[in-house]
Amino acid sequence: MTAAALKIHERLCRAYGCPIAYFHDLDPLDELISSLLSHRTRNRDSGRAFRALKAHYADWGALRDAPVEEVQALIAGVTWPEQKAPRIQAVLRGIGEAAGRLSLDFLEGMPVAEARAWLERLPGVGPKTSAAVLSFSRLRQPALPVDSHHHRVAVRTGLIPPTLAVGPAHAALAAMLPTDWDAQQIYDNHEVMMLHGQRCCFFRAPACDRCVLLDLCPTGRARLAAPSVRAADGVDPALRAVRRAESLGGGSAGS
């Protein structure tokens, strides 16, 4: 499967222009808060909530100790603010207890697997968030996040089965990439898979007829060969399987 994953990566890198510029250069703890806010939320709304927290509190300790209703009101624009506000405070308490201070800078010298395991012991932190903290923050570590777009493209191209949920897909997809890839290459892989899901391999109506992966993609070839195949509710079977796998991997704040 590694060969197929590499072919897809190279094709998408040509289409979207690797290396992809990093969109964040945040402190790792800031990145963690930002990631927790962003789950199932548009970037614009989670960005606004993050800036509201930064503007309101002198530091993350002040947020941790604030009334939860106040935090909830400040992040009202994200999905599930009533879950995310207490979760962020619980995560900050957990970091303070485990690390002795409110900082994740110590993760810099830690092997990626160990750093991810440390982060995933925090409440509500799963593989996507741990990888995002290590990859997107200024730590710039080689950790692969998998969001719903990335997961959908991986399922449809046959890299992973539709029954493999987003959580366990992290390890499966990371194992297909060369072990000597650096942080930028791992980041590029996530970014191009995500971009392809956003710009071509849409959830409801993938644009297979203009897809650069069509010759590598069993789902796309089957769709174009039999475009009239639809279930009674209008949803094709491949899309239903993706939806099922996504629902297994999501549904609550934090991931």
CB atoms within 10 A of CB 24: 14
Phi-psi region of 87 (alpha: psi -120 to 50; beta: other; left: phi over 0): alpha
- 208 contributes a contact to ligand SF4 by CB under 6 A: yes
Q: Which is nearer to ligand SF4, 133 or 159 (CB)?
A: 159
Q: Shortest Cβ contact with ligand SF4: which residue?
A: 220
Distances (CA, A) of 81 to 39, 75, 93, 240: 11, 6, 18, 29
CA distance 239 to 73: 36
Identity of the residue, 13 or 102, whose beta carbon is nearer to ligand SF4 in the bound complex: 13
By CB under 6 A, residue 159 contacts ligand SF4: no
CB of 238 to ligand SF4, least distance (A): 7
The b-or-e profile of 47-73 (16+ CB within 10 A means b, else e) is: bbbbebbeeebeebeebbebeeeebbe
For residue 7, give both structure tokens.
């072919």
Scan residues 161-190 and list those touching ligand SF4 (CB under 6 A): none
**Taking CB under 6 A as the rule, does residue 211 contact ligand SF4?**
yes
In the complex, the smallest distance separating the C-beta of residue 64 from ligand SF4, rounded to whole angstroms, is 42
Q: Which stretch binds ligand SF4 (CB under 6 A): 17-25, 41-49, 166-174, 205-213?
A: 205-213
Measured from the CB atom, the residue of 157 and 255 that comes closer to ligand SF4 is 157
Residue 74, number of CB atoms within 10 A of its CB: 21
Which of 92, 107, 133, 153 binds ligand SF4 (CB under 6 A)? It is: 153
Does residue 119 interact with ligand SF4 by CB under 6 A?
no
Residue 67 tokens, joined = 């009334």
Whichever of 78 and 201 has its CB closer to ligand SF4, that residue is 201
Least distance (Å) between residue 8 CB and ligand SF4: 8
Check binding of 235 to ligand SF4 (CB under 6 A): no
- Contact window for ligand SF4 (CB under 6 A) among 40-48, 165-173, 209-217, 226-234: 209-217
Full DSSP string of 14-63: HHHTSSPPPS----HHHHHHHHHHHTTS-HHHHHHHHHHHHHH-SSHHHH
Closest CA to 192 of 18, 21, 7: 18
Residue 217 makes contact with ligand SF4 by CB under 6 A:
yes
Among 41, 135, 137, 157, binds ligand SF4 (CB under 6 A): 157
81: which 2 tokens?
């603010």
Estimate to the nearest angstrom the gap between the alpha carbon of 154 and the chain centroid. Answer: 13
The residue among 25 and 215 lying less far from ligand SF4, judged by its C-beta, is 215
Minimum gap (Å) between residue 222 Cβ and ligand SF4: 9
Contact present, 127 and 170 (Cβ < 8 Å)? yes
Residues near ligand SF4 (CB under 6 A) are 153, 156-157, 200-201, 206-208, 211, 213-214, 217, 219-220
